[in-house]
Amino acid sequence: MKDANKKQEANQLDTETQHNCILNDTDRDLFISLIENPPEPNEALKLAMIRFKNEYKGE
């Protein structure tokens, strides 16, 4: 019974933290386009990925 209560509390927290965002047609189309065709990573992102991998490799 205790596990069921914990699960119900977790579900309640998830529901409380959800946010809805209503987009107009232009914004929706842009969002979908970026999800389907993401841009190439720029140099700053590439460097950040390298630093991240070096710092957290093996964990």
- Exposed e or buried b for every residue in 29-42, given b needs 16+ CB within 10 A? eeeeeeeeeeeeee
DSSP 34-55: HHHSPPPP-HHHHHHHHHHHHH
At 11-28, the pLDDT tens digits run: 676 666 777 889 999 999
The ranges assigned to domains in the chain are: 23-59
Question: Over 80: is that where the pLDDT of 51 sits?
Answer: yes
Residues ≥6 apart with Cβ < 8 Å to 41: 49
Residues 15-43, mean pLDDT to the nearest whole number: 91
Rounded Cα gap, residues 24 and 45, in angstroms: 29
